[in-house]
Amino acid sequence: MPPPADIVKVAIEWPGAFPKLMEIDQVSNADSTNFYITEKAQMAQQLHERIQSSSMDMKLDALKDLANSSRDITFAQEFINLDGISLLTQMVESGTDFGDLLSFTLTAFVELMDHGIVSWDSFSVAFIKKIASYVCKSAMDTAVLQRSLAILESMVLNSQDLYQKVAQEITIGQLIPHLQGTDQDIQTYTIAVINALFLKAPEEKRQVQHTLILYLHSSAMFSVCLKFYFSLVCQNVIRSNKPINDEMAHQLYVLQVLTFNLLEDRMMTKMDPQDQAQRDIIFELRRIAFDVECESNNSGSIEKRKSMYTRDYKKLGFINHVNPAVDFTQIPPGMLALDNMLYFARHHQDAYIRIVLENSSREDKHECPFGRSSIELTKMLCEILKVGELPNENCHDFHPMFFTHDRSFEEFFCICIQLLNKTWKEMRATSEDFNKVMQVVKEQITRALTIKPNSLDQFKSRLQNLSYTEILKLRQSERMNQEDFQSRPILELREKIQPEIMELIKQQRLNRLCEGTCFRKISSRRRQDKFWYCRLSPNHKVLHYGDLEESPQGEVPHDSLQDKLPVADIKAVVTGKDCPHMKEKGALKQNKEVLELSFSVLYESDEYLNFIAPDKHEYCVWTDGLNALLGKEMTSEFTRSDMDTLLNMEMKLRLLDLENIQIPEVPPPIPKEPSNYDFVYDCN
Element spanning 142, H or E? helix 142-158
How high is the mean pLDDT of the chain?
84
Which pTM does this prediction carry?
Answer: 0.65
pLDDT of residue 121: 86
pLDDT at 27 over 60: no
Question: What is the Cα–Cα distance from 330 to 268, expressed in whole angstroms?
Answer: 9
Q: Where in the chain is the domain with CATH 1.25.10.10?
A: 33-215+227-240
Question: What is the Cα–Cα distance from 439 to 427, expressed in whole angstroms?
Answer: 12
Tens of pLDDT, residue by residue over 487-539, are 778 888 889 999 999 999 999 999 999 999 998 776 544 444 578 899 999 99
More confident residue, 281 or 11: 281
pLDDT at 7 over 70: no
Averaged pLDDT for residues 220-226: 51
pLDDT at 217 over 50: no
Question: What is the Cα–Cα distance from 582 to 401, expressed in whole angstroms?
Answer: 51
Averaged pLDDT for residues 220-242: 74
User: What's domain 33-215+227-240's architecture?
Assistant: Alpha Horseshoe (1.25)
pLDDT at 185 over 80: yes
| DSSP class per residue in 181-236 | SS-HHHHHHHHHHHHHHHHTS-HHHHHHHHHHHHHHTTSHHHHHHHHHHHHHHIII
Residues sharing a CB contact under 8 Å with residue 525, sequence separation 6 or more, in sequence order: 587
Closest CA to 639 of 651, 614, 622, 615: 622
pLDDT at 483 over 80: no
Confidence of residue 204 (pLDDT cuts 50, 70, 90): low
Closest CA to 268 of 319, 219, 346, 207: 207
Confidence of residue 164 (pLDDT cuts 50, 70, 90): confident
Range with the lowest mean pLDDT among 17-31, 51-65, 432-446, 506-520? 17-31
Residues sharing a CB contact under 8 Å with residue 319, sequence separation 6 or more, in sequence order: 326, 327, 369, 371, 372
pLDDT of residue 526: 43
Confidence of residue 396 (pLDDT cuts 50, 70, 90): confident
Q: Which amino acid is at 482?
A: Q
pLDDT of residue 651: 85
Averaged pLDDT for residues 102-109: 92
pLDDT of residue 660: 62
Q: Where in the chain is the domain with CATH 2.30.29.30?
A: 496-641
Confidence of residue 17 (pLDDT cuts 50, 70, 90): low
Tens of pLDDT, residue by residue over 116-153, are 888 888 888 899 999 999 988 877 788 899 999 999 99
Tens of pLDDT, residue by residue over 310-367, are 889 999 999 998 889 999 999 999 999 999 999 999 999 999 999 999 888 777 778 8
pLDDT of residue 481: 60
Specify burial of residue 296 (Cβ count, 10 A radius: 0-12, 13-18, 19+). Answer: exposed
Question: What is the Cα–Cα distance from 314 to 318, expressed in whole angstroms?
Answer: 6
Tens of pLDDT, residue by residue over 634-665, are 989 899 999 988 988 888 888 877 766 677 77
Averaged pLDDT for residues 559-571: 88
146 φ, ψ to 5°?
A: -65, -45
Element spanning 270, H or E? none
pLDDT of residue 99: 82
Question: What is the Cα–Cα distance from 649 to 645, expressed in whole angstroms?
Answer: 6
Question: What is the Cα–Cα distance from 314 to 393, expressed in whole angstroms?
Answer: 46
pLDDT of residue 300: 57
Q: Name the DSSP letter for residue 670.
A: P
pLDDT of residue 64: 92
Residue 599 and residue 622 in contact, taking contact as beta carbons nearer than 8 Å: yes
Confidence of residue 577 (pLDDT cuts 50, 70, 90): confident
Inter-axis angle of helices 56-69 and 17-50, to 10 degrees?
A: 140
User: What's domain 496-641's architecture?
Assistant: Roll (2.30)
Residues sharing a CB contact under 8 Å with residue 194, sequence separation 6 or more, in sequence order: 172, 175, 255
Question: What is the Cα–Cα distance from 481 to 460, expressed in whole angstroms?
Answer: 28
More confident residue, 227 or 154: 154
Question: What is the Cα–Cα distance from 94 to 102, expressed in whole angstroms?
Answer: 11
pLDDT at 586 over 80: no
pLDDT of residue 595: 81
pLDDT of residue 81: 93
| DSSP class per residue in 310-362 | HHHHHHTT-S-SS-GGGGGGSTTTTHHHHHHHHHHHHHSHHHHHHHHHHHHTS
Task: Please list the residues that pair with 572 across neighbouring strands.
Answer: 602
Residue 79 and residue 48 in contact, taking contact as beta carbons nearer than 8 Å: yes
C-alpha dihedral sign at 11, 14, 18, 20: negative
Distances (CA, A) of 400 to 1, 233, 396, 406, 450: 53, 10, 12, 13, 12
pLDDT of residue 592: 66
Averaged pLDDT for residues 153-172: 88
